[in-house]
Amino acid sequence: MAECEMIICRCEEVTYQELLDTAITYNCSARELKLRTRAGMGYCGGRTCRSMVDQVAKQVGSEQSKKSISLKYQAPIRPVNFVDLGGEGK
Amino acid sequence: MNNVIIIGSGPAGLTAAITCAQKGLEVYVIDEYMKPGGRLLGQLYEQPDGTWWNGINESNKLFQQAVDLGIQFYLETAVFNIEKKDNRWKVYTDKETFQTTNLLLATGAAEAPVPIPGWTLPGVMSVGAAQVMTNVHRVKPGNRGIIIGINVLSSAIAMELKLAGVDIACLALPKNNQITHESAHPKKVLDSLLHVAHMAPSSFVKLGSKLMKNNFMKELGVTFFPRNGVKMWDIPIQLKKAVIEIYGEQEVAGVTIASISSKGEVIEGSEENIAVDFVCIAGGLYPLGELAALTGCPFHYIEELGGYVPLHNEQMETPVEGLFVAGNITGIEGAKVAAAQGRVAGLSIAERTGQHQLEEELKDAIKQVADTRKNAYIQFHPEVESGRRTVQMEWEEYWSKREQII
C-alpha cells in the first residue's frame, strides 16, 4: 500500500494525501482542515485521528495558537444511545 | 447525596477519593473501564531497589482502602457529557445522571496514533492495548510482534511482553512523514531516550548516554549506532530502521522494514520483510482533557507535558469553580506523581466543602508532588519541571487578566 492511500480518519475514510493536499492548497488551520475533509467528524468524534489532523495542519498548514484547543470537543464525547442521550433511559 | 464526584479510577482518582473520604466527604468514583486502577493496572517492572512494582496489586490495595472507607464505585460507566447548572455539576453517563458540587477530572491520558501504510489491518494495536491484553487480561496479543515507535512507554512494555513469553522482533521507528515527524527522526528519538538510559540493563547504553551529552557526540552516536541495533532485555532497538509498511491480506502477516539515514530518510534497496502476527504502534501519551474542554476551561499547549492541558494551579483547581484536575490530564508523568496530585486535589476539595485547618496538610501534599517528581524513576519528558512552571505562569497571567468564569 502506498503512503498516500493510507487512511488517517477511519470513520470518514480520509486519506493522508487528501489531508496533505487540502492543508497545502488552503493553508488550513486544523479546524478548517477538519471541515474541508470531514476528518474527525465521524462516529468516533475524532478520538483516533484528532492528533494527526492537528499535526498535518501544524506541519504544512497555518500557524496554530497554543492558547486554545485547535479542534473543539463537543458532547457526547462517547458513543451513546439516543435513549440515554435524551434522558429517557434508566 | 455526595460531596464530590471523581471521574477516573486510576492512581490520581483513587488517591483523591481516599483523601476526600478520610476527611469525611461522600465520594462517588466513575470509570468507563470494568476494573479500578486505570493505567496502573498494566504496570509491571523492577524498581531500582530490586523489588517489583506490580500495578495490579497496587490498584487492589487502593481500591480496597477506598471501599473500606465507603466510597461508591460506578465502573463500566462512561461519562459522555458534563454541564454546570445552578452551581451544580450534572454528570451524564450511559447509566444514569449524577449531580454534585465538586467535580474532579482524573481522566488520565490517551495514546497518540502513528500512521503507517497498512495500519488499519486487524492485528495492529496500540502498545498500551498490548500491555492491557498481556498484563491485565493475561491474553497474548500474538506470538511474535514488532513495536513501531521507540519511547519510554514502548521500551517498558516491550520488556513486559517479553516477560509474558511474547516474542518481540524489534523496536523500530515509523517511516518519516508529516505526521510521524520527530518520532521518525533518529537523532530526536535518541535525544529523548538518553534521559531514561539508566533503566537500560545494558552497560553499552548506560555508557553511551554519559558520552552523548553534547550535540556533536549525539550526531556521532546516531551515525555509529549499530545497523543491527542495540539490545535491551535481548530485544533489538533499531534506531536506524523504520517500518515502511504493514502487510497482510485479512490480517497482519508481517512488516517491511528499511534502513534510514540519521535524518530519517529511507535508504533505497535496504527493504526487508519481517514476519509477525501482531504490530504495536507507540506514539506516546497525551493528556485526555475532553471533559474539561466541555466546561469551557481554558487550555494551553505545553510540549513538555505531552499536549493540551487544562489550566490549573498547584492546588489542582481549574479557573472553573468547583472543577478540579489531577493525574495525567494535567501532564504526562508516572503513577506516583499522579497519586501525589490526587492527594492534593482531595485536600483542596475538602477545603472547598468548608473544612478548616487543612493549609498545612495541603502545603505538605504540594511539596510531596514536587519531591515525587524529582525522585521519579521514569521521566516521560526531561523538561517536565519547566512545563509545570509554564502552567503556573499561565495561571497567574490568566488571573491577572480576568475574573473567575462562573
pLDDT tens digits for B300-337? 999 999 999 999 999 999 999 999 999 999 999 999 99
Please give the DSSP secondary-structure letter assigned to residue B221: H
Average pLDDT, chain B: 90
Q: Which residue, of B263, B281, B299, is where some domain finishes?
A: B281
B116 domain-assigned: no
Please tell me the predicted confidence (pLDDT) of residue A81. Answer: 87
CB of A43 less than 8 A from some CB of B = no
In which domain, by residue range, is B358 found?
4-111+285-401
Give the residue with greater pLDDT, B222 vs B109: B109
Low-confidence ranges of chain A (pLDDT < 50): none
Is pLDDT of B183 > 80? yes
Same domain for B140 and B176: yes
Confidence of residue B286 (pLDDT cuts 50, 70, 90): very high
Q: Which residue, of B247, B281, B315, is where some domain finishes?
A: B281
Same domain for B90 and B135: no
Please tell me the predicted confidence (pLDDT) of residue B16. Answer: 98
B201 close to B232: Cβ distance less than 8 angstroms: yes
Q: How many domains does the structure of chain A reveal?
A: 1
Distance CA A7, CA B370 (A): 42
The fraction of chain B above a pLDDT of 90, given in percent, is: 71
* Alpha helices for B274-383 (secondary structure H): 290-294, 335-352, 359-374
Same domain for B258 and B326: no
CATH number at residue B255: 3.50.50.60
Residues 6+ apart with CB under 8 A from B231: B202, B237
The fraction of chain B above a pLDDT of 70, given in percent, is: 90
B351 domain-assigned: yes
Q: How many domains does the structure of chain B reveal?
A: 2
Please tell me the predicted confidence (pLDDT) of residue B1. Answer: 56
B332 domain-assigned: yes
Give the residue with greater pLDDT, B305 vs B224: B305
B284 close to B306: Cβ distance less than 8 angstroms: yes
Same domain for B28 and B98: yes
Here the cell at position A22 is 487540502
Distance CA B4, CA A23 (A): 44
Q: What is the ipTM of this complex?
A: 0.93
Distance CA B346, CA B20 (A): 5
Q: Which residues of B touch A51 (CB under 8 A)?
A: 112-113, 283, 286, 307
Residue reference for cell 506541519 = A59
CB of A86 less than 8 A from some CB of B = no
* Cα maximum dimension of chain B: 71
A90 domain-assigned: no
Lowest-confidence range among B64-73, B87-96, B227-236, B306-315? B227-236
Which residue is closest to A23 within chain B, CA to CA? B178
Please tell me the predicted confidence (pLDDT) of residue B152. Answer: 81
Is pLDDT of B209 > 80? no
pLDDT (average), residues B223-244: 79
CB of A74 less than 8 A from some CB of B = yes
pLDDT (average), residues B46-53: 81
Same domain for B254 and B326: no
Residues 6+ apart with CB under 8 A from B36: B9, B14, B29, B59, B62, B63, B66, B73, B75
Rounded (5°) CA angle B260-B263-B269:
25
Same domain for B182 and B62: no
Please tell me the predicted confidence (pLDDT) of residue B38. Answer: 95
Lowest-confidence range among A21-30, B79-88, B274-283, B394-403? B394-403
Contact across the interface for B175 and A5, Cβ inside 8 Å? no
Please tell me the predicted confidence (pLDDT) of residue B192. Answer: 75
Question: What is the residue-wise DSSP string for A14-45?
Answer: EEHHHHHHHHHHHT--HHHHHHHH-TT-STTT
B406 domain-assigned: no
Same domain for B331 and B209: no
Here the cell at position B231 is 539490545
A41 domain-assigned: yes
pLDDT (average), residues B85-94: 94
B61 domain-assigned: yes
Is pLDDT of B59 > 90? yes
Please tell me the predicted confidence (pLDDT) of residue B218. Answer: 58
Is pLDDT of B206 > 70? no
pLDDT (average), residues B387-396: 96
Please tell me the predicted confidence (pLDDT) of residue B397. Answer: 93
Please tell me the predicted confidence (pLDDT) of residue B184. Answer: 87
CB of A60 less than 8 A from some CB of B = yes
Contact across the interface for B78 and A78, Cβ inside 8 Å? yes
Here the cell at position B229 is 541495533
Q: Which residue, of B256, B281, B306, is where some domain finishes?
A: B281
Count CB-CB contacts under 10 A for residue B401.
7
Rounded (5°) CA angle B22-B344-B381:
140
Sign of CA dihedral B44, B48, B52, B56: negative
A71 domain-assigned: yes
Please tell me the predicted confidence (pLDDT) of residue B202. Answer: 47
**At B86, phi and psi to the nearest 5?**
50, 50
B118 domain-assigned: no
Same domain for B253 and B300: no
Q: What residues are paired with B256 via a beta bridge?
A: B245, B273
Please tell me the predicted confidence (pLDDT) of residue B405. Answer: 55
Q: How far is B361 from chain A (nearest CA, A)?
A: 33
Same domain for B128 and B97: no
Is pLDDT of B204 > 50? no
CB of A83 less than 8 A from some CB of B = no
B391 domain-assigned: yes
Please tell me the predicted confidence (pLDDT) of residue B370. Answer: 96
Same domain for B129 and B277: yes
Q: How far is A85 from chain B (nearest CA, A)?
A: 8
Distances (CA, A) of B56 to B35, B40, B61: 10, 7, 9
**Contacts A–B by Cβ distance under 8 A:** 90
Identify the burial level of B243 via C-beta atoms within 10 angstroms of its C-beta, where 0-12 means exposed, 13-18 middle and 19 or more buried: buried
Please tell me the predicted confidence (pLDDT) of residue B182. Answer: 83
**At B244, phi and psi to the nearest 5?**
-100, -20
Is pLDDT of B84 > 50? yes
Rounded (5°) CA angle B395-B390-B347:
55
Please tell me the predicted confidence (pLDDT) of residue A83. Answer: 84
Same domain for B187 and B144: yes
Q: Which of B212, B198, B42 is nearest to B132 (CA)?
A: B42
Q: Which of B164, B190, B152 is nearest to B282 (CA)?
A: B152
User: pLDDT tens, B338-355?
Assistant: 999 999 999 999 999 998
Please tell me the predicted confidence (pLDDT) of residue B207. Answer: 47
Question: What is the residue-wise DSSP string for A40-71?
Answer: T-STTTTTTTHHHHHHHHHHHS----SSS-SS
Measured in whole angstroms, how far is the alpha carbon of residue B305 from the centre of its chain?
A: 10
In which domain, by residue range, is A66 found?
3-85
Same domain for B385 and B296: yes
CB of A59 less than 8 A from some CB of B = yes
A26 domain-assigned: yes
Measured in whole angstroms, how far is the alpha carbon of residue B382 from the centre of its chain?
A: 15
